[in-house]
Amino acid sequence: MEGKIIDGKEISRQVKEEVKSGVERLKAEGMTPGLAVILVGDDPASAAYVGSKERTTKALGMHSEVIRMDRETSESALLDEITRLNGDPAIHGILVQLPLPEQIDEQRVIAAIHPDKDVDGFHPENAGRLMAGMDGFVPCTPLGIMVMLERSGVDLNGKHAVVVGRSNIVGKPMAMLLLQANATVTICHSRTEDLPAITRQADVLVAAVGREGMIGPEHVKDGAVVIDVGINRGEDGKLHGDVDFERVLPAASSITPVPGGVGPMTIAMLMSNTLKSAGKALRESR
């Protein structure tokens, strides 16, 4: 049983330590990495994530700017703010917290962020770079999962990885990274027929759906590695994953918990991407 639960909190702590050292090295060269986060509206969950990003940014010695905009903000006012941040030399990363209110077109907003400051990796240029195997920003959640797998000694070479979910921010980039690591990859979604038959083939199963406990023991092969991306607020007021943790645990060779799994890695990789952006800006200024 020992070591079976992949400790995302601990691995994220290590990544953040490494980022902190990198920030100190850049500062010694006169460069302070800066991250801007835009929050539109006052959804409590979004506000909590933004608060935690702000605290972490500062704790690692980086410059943090949080822009809070009214729920009724127009798309053009948000685009103006992004244009200003695109031109601000103190800002190396721009994150617009999703979801956005319905009067604002998410795709247009994402496309307005300069690709070199797109630390979320959501811009179509960065999505294309990932698909083409070129350097660029990789979305933080799938990138964090790759770091967790590496540091837990999971070998992906030739293994069957099954990703449940095909969003642009989690499922699709996750599948691409697993493919790059030489896994054989299957992507499942809401139209998939006989989901358990496919997920039971997985050596590595990634659940990124947003339905509490939808992955049960009948979905999991003995000895599989199970990664739970889902963040669902349960009726008990607590956070739950997409995986029915207690019932899947016996079959899994290793498994990530919620909370304390993928979530903390997402923030750590956001910090890592911001450091990477600032490092690139410094090199290009020379």
Ligand X SMILES: NC(=O)C1=CN([C@@H]2O[C@H](COP(=O)(O)OP(=O)(O)OC[C@H]3O[C@@H](n4cnc5c(N)ncnc54)[C@H](OP(=O)(O)O)[C@@H]3O)[C@@H](O)[C@H]2O)C=CC1
Ligand Y SMILES: Nc1nc(=O)c2c([nH]1)NC[C@@H]1CN(c3ccc(C(=O)N[C@@H](CCC(=O)O)C(=O)O)cc3)C=[N+]21
Binding site as annotated, residues: 165-167, 231
Q: Footprint of ligand Y on residues 206-235 (CB under 6 A)?
A: 231
CB of 28 to ligand X, least distance (A): 32
Give 235's Cβ-side CA count (13 Å radius): 1
User: Taking CB under 6 A as the rule, does residue 267 contact ligand Y?
Assistant: yes
Q: How many residues bind to ligand X according to rule CB under 6 A?
A: 25
Binding window for ligand Y (CB under 6 A); candidates: 64-72, 203-211, 252-260, 275-283: 252-260
User: Taking CB under 6 A as the rule, does residue 248 contact ligand X?
Assistant: no
Q: At how many degrees (to 10) do helices 8-28 and 140-151 cross? A: 110
Q: Which residue matches tokens 């299957």?
A: 186
The residues annotated as belonging to the active site are: 53, 97, 120
Q: For ligand Y, which residue of 148, 258, 268, 281 counts as binding (CB under 6 A)? A: 258
Binding partner selected for residue 49 from ligand Y, ligand X, none, CB under the kind-specific 5 to 8 Å limit: ligand Y
User: Taking CB under 6 A as the rule, does residue 98 contact ligand Y?
Assistant: yes
User: Taking CB under 6 A as the rule, does residue 127 contact ligand X?
Assistant: no
CA 108 to chain centre: 20
Q: What is the dihedral of CA 244, 246, 252, 256, to 10 degrees?
A: 70
CB of 188 to ligand X, least distance (A): 5
Q: Which of 242, 230, 260 is nearest to 170 (CA)?
A: 230
Binding partner selected for residue 95 from ligand X, ligand Y, none, CB under the kind-specific 5 to 8 Å limit: ligand Y
Nearer to ligand X, 254 or 256 (CB): 256
Distance separating alpha carbons of residues 75 and 67, to the nearest angstrom = 15
**Ramachandran sector of residue 74 (left: φ over 0; alpha: ψ -120 to 50; beta: rest):** beta
User: How many angstroms separate the Cα of 132 from the Cα of each of 70, 127, 229, 239?
Assistant: 38, 9, 25, 36
Q: For ligand X, which residue of 205, 262, 275, 281 counts as binding (CB under 6 A)? A: 262
Binding partner selected for residue 96 from ligand Y, ligand X, none, CB under the kind-specific 5 to 8 Å limit: ligand Y
Q: What is the CA radius of gyration of the chain?
A: 19
The sign one gets for the Cα dihedral 136, 62, 140, 209 is: negative
Residues that bind ligand Y (CB under 6 A): 48-49, 95-98, 120, 140, 231, 239, 258-260, 263-264, 266-267
Residues that bind ligand X (CB under 6 A): 141, 164-167, 169-171, 188-192, 195, 208-211, 229-232, 262-263, 266
